Chains A and B, each alone.
Chain A
Amino acid sequence: MSEYFLTIRRMLCTAGCLLAVVFFSCKEEVVDFDANNCKKNPPFIQSMGFDGKSSFFSTSDIRTMGLLLLQSEQPGNPNAAVTRSFQHPSWRKGGWLAPILIDEAGNIYTAPAPFISMLDNPVANNNTIYKVDARSGVMEEFMRLPLADSINAQNPYGIIGMVYLCETGTLYVSSVAGSRLHEENGHIYVIDVKNKKIIDQLDHTDAMGMGISYASGKRQLFFGTGRNSDVQSTILNKEGKFSGKPQMAFSLQNLGPRGDDKVRRIRSDQSGNLTVSGIEFNFNLIAPREKQETLYEFVYDEEAKKWGLKQAP
């Protein structure tokens, strides 16, 4: 049975979590490594005897709630055996978690996301960002985003996406807390990490996976909408704040085996091309193992000034 779970997990992870990335999680939001790569290994890893090159963080283990530090026999190989694992007692305090983000000092940021049930993830905590200190490895509450006006029983989710802009030290956090079937009440918050302050926000936006790209020389935040298969982009200014209104970039609609994928994650390569991970998502608690993931590659056509699908899955 456990073998089965490992296989399923590996199947899911193969799609987008272990692409020679030291730190990963199936649900992780990862900033662009080339254009926006500043993350550093948390020093506490080495002090605990873990090999930084073959270790990674995970929030995807279906039997262990919270954050896990794992060391693999072959980093990058999803089928490789895990040789060591560690969980600090504080890493369970947020319940089941999803995004993992590491800054230039090695601090880790994460947030709760319910896994199959709400038992360990009360709705009231779903807008909380947790931080694991780079040196001590202890997880503490970093900050609570404003609670949505209308937290409701329909929507089990709060924070579902995070990315980090190294240049400005700003964290972009998408939250759908308070959204309902017919009311889009989500936000993308821009947080000045140093001062723990929200410095900008987009309202009435249910954003899911996000990514930062420098395509066509612009610093842009791309985000998938939780309501449909569209991907929008907004330009970020030098302070990391939003500049102008979000624009439609491209859509996953009618693409892939399902045709209505929502964006789980967006990654950018050196050229600014985007790799988008698409999954089924309908704001319910269907088990992640049921969700097949598809990768879509989008390329920006400078002449036509539009994005096009590079490789149909």
Chain B
Amino acid sequence: MRTFVLVFALITSFFSSCTNSPASSGNTNHYGEDVLQSVIANADSLKTFDFVDARVEAIKNALQRPIPVLLCADSLNGNQELAQTIALSDSTFTKNIRDIKTNTPYRNEIFAVFPARESDLLNFKQTFNFKDCYRVEMYNYPLNLSTVAFVDIKQQKVVSAFTQEQTQPEIPQYLKTLAIKIAINSPEVQEAYGIKPSEKDALMASTKTSLNRTRCERSRHLCVAPTFVKDGKALWAIVDLTDHKLVGVRWTNVGTTGPAAPMITERRLQDDKITACFCEKETALEKNGWKLNYMLTSSDGLRIAQVSFNGKPILQSAKLVDWHVSYSGTDGFGYSDAVGCPYFSQAAVVAFEPPKILEIKDDAGTTTGFALEQAFRSEQWPTPCNYNYRQRFEFYKDGRFRVAAASIGRGCGNDGTYRPVFRIAFATEQNNFAEWNGINWNNWPMEKWQLQSATTAYAENKYQYQLTDNSGNGFFMQPANGKFGDGGRGDNAFVYVTQNKPAVDEGEADLVTIGPCCNTDYHQGPEKFIEPSPDNIQNKKLVVWYVAQLKNDDTKGNEYCWAESVLQNGVYVTKAYPCFAGPMFVPITKTISK
């Protein structure tokens, strides 16, 4: 069992709007205030509402029953109840209520029982007495599947039943009320609306309905949008009724004529907000003596720049250029994935949520620094051939910093190797780079690459390289050897050092894909800036490229760079097994350097 020493606790996730403040951006943002002030709710700090507890209990109880289906919570008359009972005793109607392989119950719920319409039974040759016929609608949450039965209560049988994949029936009044309750009790809604809205405020005058239809395309959950109108604008509060949580809020203009306004959905809310706030502008961050700017790029992940500690410039920039993913089962098969912005980008895996700022604590609970973390996800992760990458910059109060990233699977097979390509450009104008040979620090005179191996020597059992200026100040570079307490098992990394030439852009601007998926040797891309004629790197401004090599594993109990879906309380949840990689930079002190 792995032991995680570090604890990352969320301290900021941009509940508040990003603004066009000149202090944080030199750009003119093209998005309106509606987008800039939209909120993507933070899944890590969700409140558990007391009023949801009873429903959660009912769900758990239903899952224990032989027919694990939540009955319709709306008021039903005797005939409707009879129709519901008949439907649930029909094997065709209940065909999908359990996982076929494991017999584990799915979360199912009867959403409606109402008299059948003539149009429902048009395809039948036999005639029906419509007053005896009912339409029973059931929703399967994990499969996002609707099942409909037509029940003849006089004949006590199901006349017909069918399923519709990726569809959701009209939700019952009980869930509408619950959705509104979740919305009005969510702090994000109250903050956006100005006060806590009442249930009566959830009403679209134009449609006479309290709920707008919406979609959660990414989570594939049951979502609706209680909508609150104020001052001629509508506040959409997207509520996830699978997880009983708020997804986010966004204002829109209320149109009275013309074409239908685009629906505010989970994906649109996320993509617009991320683009407006993090792809089109830099954000300044100052904490624990560290000062930096960050923004999402088209294809190089989250980029930090102008990084200083206690006023001293440390990094010009750092970013994640590529993920090279190769599968050993098939020669030359894999992908070069870039990560970045959701719209107009060269990213194959895009940011779904804003960057998070996390507090780093040691195992004694003491705060030692903070981390800036960004997640990138394929839409259908963790299904096969979908990817999830995490990028993390760690900054410590003692001046250490780490540039890290993880794959969380799942990829196209269990024979995959992930190679993240980091580019770390130092700020100091005159640096030297040296490797520890077991006795001394040996300077690299020219641009060069090297592979970490089993025989690599480490100073103090930790440090493989050092990067120092003329005065001897600088950093030790500690590759990940499974000692960072994040579950990482070592990087087996290629390290490249190149000169940061003032007149030549060798990757400071957004880089297109730098290397192919499947090279297993040092040809990962950075060598292009070294070969064929390596430049002198003594007393130069330097760029360190770091390419970790992470082999995935799906062995039970030993999973790594992996993810899988498991049924929990009737719905699928993801079990993630990240493989974090990346070097730590430790300030050089006299004691250690001598």
- Same complex origin of A and B: yes
Tell me which residues across on chain B come within 8 A of A236, comparing CB atoms.
Answer: none
A257 and B213 alpha carbons, distance in the complex (Å): 12
Interface status of B18 (Cβ within 8 A of chain A): no
Nearest Cβ in chain B — how far from A187, in angstroms? 17
Tell me which residues across on chain B come within 8 A of A254, comparing CB atoms.
Answer: 213, 260, 262-263
Given contacts A117-B348, A260-B265, contact A1 B327 (CB under 8 A): yes
Interface status of A83 (Cβ within 8 A of chain B): no
Interface status of B413 (Cβ within 8 A of chain A): yes
Nearest Cβ in chain B — how far from A47, in angstroms? 31
Tell me which residues across on chain B come within 8 A of A253, comparing CB atoms.
Answer: 259-260, 262-263
Interface status of A63 (Cβ within 8 A of chain B): yes
Interface status of B587 (Cβ within 8 A of chain A): no
Of A1, A63, A117, A154, most buried by chain B (CB within 10 Å of CB) is A117
**A217-235: contact bitstring with B at CB < 8 Å (1 yes, 0 no)?**
0000000000010000000
A283 touches B345 (CB 8 A): yes
A156 touches B385 (CB 8 A): no
A1 touches B412 (CB 8 A): yes
Tell me which residues across on chain B come within 8 A of A260, comparing CB atoms.
Answer: 262-263, 265, 267-268
Given contacts A154-B345, A284-B346, contact A116 B335 (CB under 8 A): yes
Interface positions, chain B 226-268, Cβ under 8 Å from A, are: 259-260, 262-263, 265, 267-268
A116 and B217 alpha carbons, distance in the complex (Å): 21
A155 and B512 alpha carbons, distance in the complex (Å): 11
A156 and B333 alpha carbons, distance in the complex (Å): 22
Tell me which residues across on chain A come within 8 A of B513, comparing CB atoms.
Answer: 117-119
Interface status of B275 (Cβ within 8 A of chain A): yes
Given contacts A259-B265, A260-B265, A290-B378, contact A4 B348 (CB under 8 A): no
Interface positions, chain B 344-398, Cβ under 8 Å from A, are: 344-350, 378-380, 384-386
Interface status of B316 (Cβ within 8 A of chain A): no
A181 touches B343 (CB 8 A): yes
A1 touches B413 (CB 8 A): yes
Neighbour of B345 across the interface among A182, A284, A290, CB < 8 A: A284
Tell me which residues across on chain A come within 8 A of B259, comparing CB atoms.
Answer: 251, 253
B260 touches A153 (CB 8 A): no
B512 touches A284 (CB 8 A): no
Given contacts A116-B335, A253-B259, contact A282 B346 (CB under 8 A): no
Interface status of A285 (Cβ within 8 A of chain B): yes
Nearest Cβ in chain B — how far from A16, in angstroms? 18
Interface status of B583 (Cβ within 8 A of chain A): no
Given contacts A1-B329, A253-B260, A254-B262, contact A117 B344 (CB under 8 A): no
Interface status of B491 (Cβ within 8 A of chain A): no
Interface status of A19 (Cβ within 8 A of chain B): no
A-B contact count (CB 8 A): 118
Neighbour of A285 across the interface among B267, B327, B338, CB < 8 A: B338
A1 touches B378 (CB 8 A): no
Of B275, B280, B340, B385, most buried by chain A (CB within 10 Å of CB) is B385
B265 touches A286 (CB 8 A): no
Nearest Cβ in chain B — how far from A281, in angstroms? 10
Interface status of B30 (Cβ within 8 A of chain A): yes
**B432-447: contact bitstring with A at CB < 8 Å (1 yes, 0 no)?**
0000000000000000
A156 and B385 alpha carbons, distance in the complex (Å): 22
Q: What is the interface residue range for chain A against chain B?
A: 35 or more
Interface status of A40 (Cβ within 8 A of chain B): no
Tell me which residues across on chain A come within 8 A of B337, comparing CB atoms.
Answer: 116-117
A283 and B344 alpha carbons, distance in the complex (Å): 5
A259 touches B166 (CB 8 A): no
Tell me which residues across on chain A come within 8 A of B509, comparing CB atoms.
Answer: 153
Interface status of B271 (Cβ within 8 A of chain A): yes
Interface status of B289 (Cβ within 8 A of chain A): no
Taking chain A's interface residues, is the majority helix, strand, or loop, or is none over half, making it mixed?
loop
Interface status of A92 (Cβ within 8 A of chain B): no
A290 and B333 alpha carbons, distance in the complex (Å): 18
Name which residue of chain B comes closest to A122, CB basis.
Answer: B512
B512 touches A153 (CB 8 A): yes
A286 touches B348 (CB 8 A): yes
Tell me which residues across on chain B come within 8 A of A119, comparing CB atoms.
Answer: 336, 512-513, 515-516
Tell me which residues across on chain A come within 8 A of B510, comparing CB atoms.
Answer: 153
Interface positions, chain A 257-313, Cβ under 8 Å from B, are: 257-260, 282-287, 289-290
Interface status of B64 (Cβ within 8 A of chain A): no
Interface status of A10 (Cβ within 8 A of chain B): no
Name which residue of chain B comes closest to A248, CB basis.
Answer: B259
Interface status of B552 (Cβ within 8 A of chain A): no
Interface status of A2 (Cβ within 8 A of chain B): yes
Tell me which residues across on chain A come within 8 A of B412, comparing CB atoms.
Answer: 1, 4-5
A1 and B350 alpha carbons, distance in the complex (Å): 24
Interface status of B207 (Cβ within 8 A of chain A): no
Tell me which residues across on chain B come within 8 A of A114, comparing CB atoms.
Answer: 346
Name which residue of chain B comes closest to A4, CB basis.
Answer: B384
Name which residue of chain A comes closest to B341, CB basis.
Answer: A284
B271 touches A156 (CB 8 A): no
Given contacts A4-B385, A117-B338, A182-B30, contact A155 B344 (CB under 8 A): yes
Given contacts A182-B30, A257-B166, contact A117 B262 (CB under 8 A): no
Nearest Cβ in chain B — how far from A25, in angstroms? 20
Tell me which residues across on chain B come within 8 A of A249, comparing CB atoms.
Answer: none
Nearest Cβ in chain B — how far from A189, in angstroms? 22
Nearest Cβ in chain B — how far from A64, in angstroms? 11
Neighbour of A153 across the interface among B335, B342, B346, B515, CB < 8 A: B346
A290 touches B346 (CB 8 A): no
B338 touches A181 (CB 8 A): no
Interface status of A198 (Cβ within 8 A of chain B): no
Which 4 A-B pairs rank lowest in CB-CB distance, beginning with the nearest?
A: A117-B513, A154-B344, A117-B336, A181-B344
Extra contacts, 15 of them, besides A8-B385, A285-B348, A286-B350 (Cβ < 8 A), are A1-B412, A1-B413, A117-B346, A119-B512, A123-B512, A156-B346, A254-B260, A257-B215, A259-B215, A260-B262, A282-B342, A283-B343, A284-B343, A286-B349, A290-B379
- A-B contact list, 10 entries, CB within 8 Å: A63-B333, A116-B336, A118-B512, A154-B346, A181-B344, A182-B30, A228-B262, A283-B344, A284-B345, A290-B386
